[in-house]
């Protein structure tokens, strides 16, 4: 990477692609759970595709040539913050050759393992195709006349093309990668899938839980993003899309490293979701499969949410006064001599006001003598007998109270 930001080359000259950039491109393309990469040498560019047939996911990074001919120049622009640098490299392919092979991306990464060493010692990198022996030869020309040759065997492959059409997607939005990264950080790393629910002004991101059984044990997380957090937010179809979070995280890592905004194209549930990272020189399309509609029909009511207008977030409108008033009105005066089996019992006789005062009195006593540990508190807390629950009960019926969680009245009856 050109650290001082100078534009190194102009068109017409050719220089081998600096190894660290090659490595970065490879690393960025790999993602975290990519399968063996497909490396395609085509007449117009080099394409790296990690393919996972199960999820039909691809990364396509296209390098656009400057001079298409038998001898081809590739321009790669890397951008980091304010700095950018353009590198050219040259490769020649006999005309008419359309060759596809598959290489494990980890093997390619081992060639460019240590960036620091590469920057110090390697002058150029030469890649050659040896069809007879079925291998790609990477030769690193290092200082002092040292030549490191890596022979990587490849496998023939069929290219898997994801069928998608970005322009026909109903919903599009674009955001800085930071916004999306800050969103996914709230979800546990073990989470498999995430659901996006879209409306005109907002996007909700929720974790997706498959099993009904899981639902009662799992933490349900939900995050709401407003339209103005996005660079572009155009939603025509209100629906919910579910896709794999793990892959999404990996892709966001790549997007963050390029610093480019991420555009997402969404359509119906079941249609793939496309994440696009685009530059003048670079175009990356990440295609993710989504859960289909009939899957939603099997889930209880989740799909219906998308159609309704979500009620305004009640936490934003939380009114303490209203809450306190509600509390006052629902609590009917009970017998004040009741002895709750709580802390108060261990301190002094009951009656709420007195209890509060007593506690603060004890605290003051404790503070007078800083030498001693708060033994009085302990005494009051831990010494003394454990009182049985009071047999006397308020005759007040419980139905006037708003019970937020299940606590059936038959339990109360049994407690006696």
Partner 1 sequence: MKFRGKIIDVACLNHFTRVVTTISKLTKTCVLRLTPDNLFFILSGKVTNGGVSMWCELLQNNFFDEYQMEGVSSEFNQICLEVSPENLSRALRTVQCAKSVKIKLTKKHCACLTVAAELPTLSSASRVVTHDVPVEVIPRRLWQEFKEPVMPDFDVSIYLPPLKMLKNVVDRMKNLSNFLVIEANMNGEMNLKIQTDLVSVSTHFKDLGNPPWGEDASQDGGPSQRGDPELLAEATVDIRKLQQFLVGQQVNPSKAMCNIVHQNVVHLILLHEDVSLQYFIPAVA
Of 42, 218, 253, 281, the residue at the interface with partner 1 (CB under 8 A) is: 218
CB of 179 to partner 1, least distance (A): 8
Asked if residue 362 binds partner 1 (CB under 8 A), the reply is no
Q: Could you write out the DSSP letters of every residue in 262-304?
A: EEEEE-SBTBPEEEEEE-SSEEEEEEE-B--HHHHHHSSSHHH
CB of 298 to partner 1, least distance (A): 16
Query: What does the alpha-carbon distance between residue 242 and residue 207 come to, in Å, rounded to a whole number?
Result: 9
Give residue for tokens 């249609």: 271
Angle at 277 between CA 102 and CA 202, to 5 degrees: 130
Asked if residue 393 binds partner 1 (CB under 8 A), the reply is yes
The candidate with the shortest Cα–Cα distance to 207, out of 280, 196, 45, 108, is 196
Asked if residue 313 binds partner 1 (CB under 8 A), the reply is yes
Nearer to partner 1, 151 or 356 (CB): 356
Q: Is 262 left (phi over 0), alpha (psi -120 to 50) or beta?
A: beta
CB of 239 to partner 1, least distance (A): 21
Asked if residue 382 binds partner 1 (CB under 8 A), the reply is yes
The candidate with the shortest Cα–Cα distance to 1, out of 115, 90, 89, is 115
Contact region with partner 1 (CB under 8 A), list: 56-64, 87-95, 279-287, 377-385: 377-385
Nearer to partner 1, 119 or 182 (CB): 182
Secondary structure of residue 110 in the 3-state scheme? helix
- In the chain, what is the greatest distance between 2 CA atoms, to the nearest angstrom? 98
Cα 21 to the center of its chain, rounded Å? 26
Asked if residue 402 binds partner 1 (CB under 8 A), the reply is yes
CB of 182 to partner 1, least distance (A): 8
The candidate with the shortest Cα–Cα distance to 40, out of 30, 32, 48, is 48
Nearer to partner 1, 11 or 381 (CB): 381
Nearer to partner 1, 297 or 331 (CB): 331
CB of 233 to partner 1, least distance (A): 11
Angle at 273 between CA 271 and CA 278, to 5 degrees: 140
Nearer to partner 1, 92 or 399 (CB): 399
Tokens of 79: 């951008």
Nearer to partner 1, 114 or 221 (CB): 221
Asked if residue 318 binds partner 1 (CB under 8 A), the reply is yes
Whole-number Cα distances in Å, 16 to 77, 125, 190, 283: 14, 6, 41, 21
Nearer to partner 1, 157 or 199 (CB): 199
Binding mask 14-53 for partner 1 (x = CB under 8 A): ----------------------------------------
CB of 248 to partner 1, least distance (A): 17
Asked if residue 388 binds partner 1 (CB under 8 A), the reply is yes
Helix (H) or strand (E) holding 135: strand 135-142
Query: What does the alpha-carbon distance between residue 271 and residue 81 come to, in Å, rounded to a whole number?
Result: 35
For 358-365, the CB contacts below 8 A with 24+ separation are none
CB of 225 to partner 1, least distance (A): 6
Secondary structure of residue 185 in the 3-state scheme? coil
Asked if residue 216 binds partner 1 (CB under 8 A), the reply is yes
Contact 24/48 with Cβ under 8 angstroms? Answer: no
CB of 360 to partner 1, least distance (A): 10
Contact set for partner 1, span 320-359 (CB under 8 A): 320, 323-324, 327, 330-335, 338, 340-343, 346, 356, 359
Nearer to partner 1, 178 or 238 (CB): 178
Contact set for partner 1, span 180-209 (CB under 8 A): 182, 185-186, 188
Nearer to partner 1, 6 or 186 (CB): 186
Nearer to partner 1, 99 or 359 (CB): 359
Nearer to partner 1, 128 or 373 (CB): 373
Contact set for partner 1, span 155-184 (CB under 8 A): 182
CB of 243 to partner 1, least distance (A): 20
Of 10, 329, 353, 406, the residue at the interface with partner 1 (CB under 8 A) is: 406
Tokens of 225: 């993003």
How do beta strands 37-41 and 99-103 pair?
Answer: antiparallel
Secondary structure of residue 103 in the 3-state scheme? strand
CB of 197 to partner 1, least distance (A): 14
């Amino acid at each position: 990477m050109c650290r001082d930001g100078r534009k190194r080359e102009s068109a017409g000259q050719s220089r081998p692609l600096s190894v660290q950039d090659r490595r970065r491109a490879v690393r960025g393309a790999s993602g975290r759970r990519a399968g063996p990469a497909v490396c395609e040498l085509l007449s117009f560019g080099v394409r790296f595709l990690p393919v996972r047939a199960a999820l039909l996911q691809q990364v396509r990074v296209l390098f656009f040539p400057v001079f298409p001919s038998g001898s081809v120049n590739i321009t790669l622009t890397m951008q980091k913050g304010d700095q950018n640098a353009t590198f050219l490299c040259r490769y020649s392919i006999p005309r008419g050759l359309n060759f596809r092979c598959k290489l494990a991306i980890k093997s390619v990464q081992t060639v460019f393992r240590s960036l620091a060493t590469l920057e110090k010692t390697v002058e150029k990198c030469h890649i050659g195709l040896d069809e007879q022996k079925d291998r790609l030869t990477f030769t690193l020309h290092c200082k002092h006349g040292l030549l490191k040759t890596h022979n990587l065997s490849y496998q023939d492959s069929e290219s898997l093309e994801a069928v998608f059409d970005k322009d026909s997607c109903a919903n599009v939005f674009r955001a800085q990668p930071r916004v999306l990264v800050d969103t996914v950080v709230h979800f546990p790393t073990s989470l498999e899938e995430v659901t996006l629910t879209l409306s005109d002004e907002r996007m909700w991101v929720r974790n997706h839980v498959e099993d009904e059984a899981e639902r009662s044990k799992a933490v349900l997380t939900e995050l709401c993003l407003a339209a103005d957090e996005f660079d572009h937010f155009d939603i025509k179809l209100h629906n919910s899309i579910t896709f794999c979070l793990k892959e999404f995280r990996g892709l966001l890592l790549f997007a963050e490293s390029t610093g480019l905004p991420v555009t997402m194209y969404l359509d119906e549930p079941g249609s793939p979701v496309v994440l696009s990272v685009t530059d003048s020189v670079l175009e990356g399309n990440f295609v993710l499969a989504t859960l289909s509609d009939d899957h939603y029909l099997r889930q209880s009511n989740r799909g219906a949410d998308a159609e309704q207008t979500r009620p305004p977030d009640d936490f934003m409108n939380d009114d303490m006064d209203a809450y306190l008033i509600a509390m006052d009105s629902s609590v009917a005066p009970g017998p004040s001599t009741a002895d709750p089996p709580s802390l108060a019992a261990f301190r002094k006789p009951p009656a709420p006001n007195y209890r509060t005062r007593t506690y603060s009195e004890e605290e003051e006593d404790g503070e007078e003598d800083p030498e001693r540990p708060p033994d009085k508190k302990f005494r009051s807390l831990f010494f003394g007998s454990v009182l049985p629950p009071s047999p006397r009960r308020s005759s007040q019926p419980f139905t006037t109270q708003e019970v937020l969680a299940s606590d059936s009245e038959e339990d109360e009856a049994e407690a006696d």
